[in-house]
Amino acid sequence: MQDLHFMNFVGGADLFGYVGIEAVLDQMRMKTMKAGFEFNIMVVGQSGLGKSTLVNTLFKSKISRKSCTPNYEEKICKTVKLHAVSHVIEEKGVKMKLTVVDTPGFGDQINNENCWEPIVKYINEQYEKFLREELNVNRKRRIPDSRVHCCIYFLPATGHRLRPIDVEFMKRLGKMVSIVPVIAKADTLTVEERQEFKEQIRKDLDANGICVYPQEEFDEDPDERLLNHRIRESIPFAVVGTDQEHQVNGNKVLGRKTKWGIIEVENVAHCEFANLRDLLIRSHLQDLKDVTHNILYENYRVRRLNESNITFSELELSSWPTENGTDKSQL
């Protein structure tokens, strides 16, 4: 028996009076607040670029332990060891489980060939975990989400151009995760130097076909495209991080005190930290999650379901195809 389906449009003018449909927004708001949110962020960059400080500044709490503190066990890692730490933070009734994945050892060796492999593996493992949960016959009501929603890639403020390791990393991971490149310790660049550096980086990204967040191909409508275009024109953000407060003009501000002045972290005239924070947290956090779930995860799933000769037990030995198609086992 065929189902007959008729489509009609009943516009606002055709509703004779208030129905209360818009109350669904509040219902949704309440439900999501009750359920809480998860957000997983990865920081990648060689040691000494201020990764932990930046994360702490972003989330205004001591999430990561800085490697420069005296108690930190300084081991020279031969390989990149990923390290994920979760915390629950709450703001105005909104609970968020924040997981920060650190990648000590990345870019620190003399020979950095393949230092991205453990990172690629980690990201794929999280996708795999989610996929398996999703494919279960008996599924959890809410599948725990450990997929990396955002990867902040730290570029040292050399002022020149992207280094080969930067290009390699972003090329390979650009299709798997949303990469947000930032210029670290940007207080060593003047405004003009910063501008030139950013332009050069954007040129390099273009020349190498690297897609960073917000990815142009995922823009859904003209408004979004316009908004994201403006963001794409100003990345990578040049940031400075700190956890210390100082007095400036009678106000307490977050800043770095130097002999020649105080660098106010949240002052947009000084650095672009506020822009980064607004992008990552205040405006595009949900979008980062959506892109990861609706596009990047789906891409992984398609690839995975098409590979009928790889079973879970072979996960340890399987070769993950990289974006440019080369087999990792041959690298």
Residue 109 CB, shortest distance to another protein, in Å, is: 13
Q: Which of 199, 298, 323, 327 binds another protein (CB under 8 A)?
A: 298
Q: What would you report as the CA-atom Rg of the chain, rounded to the nearest whole angstrom?
A: 22
By the rule CB under 8 A, 7 interacts with another protein:
yes
- Phi and psi at residue 13, in whole multiples of 5°? -70, -25
199 closest CA partner among 183, 184, 215:
183
101 closest CA partner among 131, 122, 115:
122
By the rule CB under 8 A, 8 interacts with another protein:
yes
Which CB, 206 or 307, lies closer to another protein? Answer: 307
By the rule CB under 8 A, 76 interacts with another protein:
no
Residue 8 CB, shortest distance to another protein, in Å, is: 4
Residue 197 CB, shortest distance to another protein, in Å, is: 27
**Residue 140 to residues 181, 236, 265, Cα–Cα distance (Å):** 35, 39, 42
- Contacts of residue 44, Cβ cutoff 8 Å, sequence gap at least 6: 51, 103, 106, 119, 151, 152, 153, 154, 169
Range 180-239, binding another protein (CB under 8 A) = 220-221
Q: What is the DSSP string of 105-128?
A: TTT-SSS-TTTTHHHHHHHHHHHH
Residue 112 CB, shortest distance to another protein, in Å, is: 14
By the rule CB under 8 A, 23 interacts with another protein:
yes
The 87-126 site mask, x for binding another protein (CB under 8 A), equals xxxxxxxx-xx-x-x---------------xx--xx----
Q: What is the DSSP string of 203-239?
A: HHHHHTT---SSPGGG--SHHHHHHHHHHHHHPSEE-
By the rule CB under 8 A, 253 interacts with another protein:
no
Angle ∠(118,276,96) on CA atoms, nearest 5: 70
Which CB, 78 or 259, lies closer to another protein? Answer: 78
Residue 317 CB, shortest distance to another protein, in Å, is: 11
- Which two structure tokens, joined as six digits, stand for 132? 């398996």
106 closest CA partner among 166, 183, 54:
166
By the rule CB under 8 A, 18 interacts with another protein:
yes
Which CB, 200 or 295, lies closer to another protein? Answer: 295
Helices 117-135 and 297-306, axial angle in degrees (round to 10): 80
Q: Which of 215, 285, 318, 328 binds another protein (CB under 8 A)?
A: 285
Range 128-157, binding another protein (CB under 8 A) = 132, 135-139, 141, 146
Q: Which of 86, 244, 319, 326 binds another protein (CB under 8 A)?
A: 86
Residue 160 CB, shortest distance to another protein, in Å, is: 30
Q: Which of 48, 62, 257, 319 binds another protein (CB under 8 A)?
A: 62
- Report the distance separating Cα 246 and Cα 252, nearest Å: 6
Which CB, 192 or 308, lies closer to another protein? Answer: 308
Which CB, 92 or 259, lies closer to another protein? Answer: 92
Beta carbons within 10 angstroms of residue 320's beta carbon: 17
274 closest CA partner among 298, 241, 302, 310:
241
Residue 198 CB, shortest distance to another protein, in Å, is: 24
- Which two structure tokens, joined as six digits, stand for 305? 């379901």
By the rule CB under 8 A, 165 interacts with another protein:
no
Residue 279 CB, shortest distance to another protein, in Å, is: 11
Q: Which of 225, 232, 246, 301 binds another protein (CB under 8 A)?
A: 301
Cβ atoms of residues 57 and 242 within 8 Å? yes
By the rule CB under 8 A, 12 interacts with another protein:
yes
Task: Number of residues interacting with another protein: please give it, by CB under 8 A.
Answer: 93
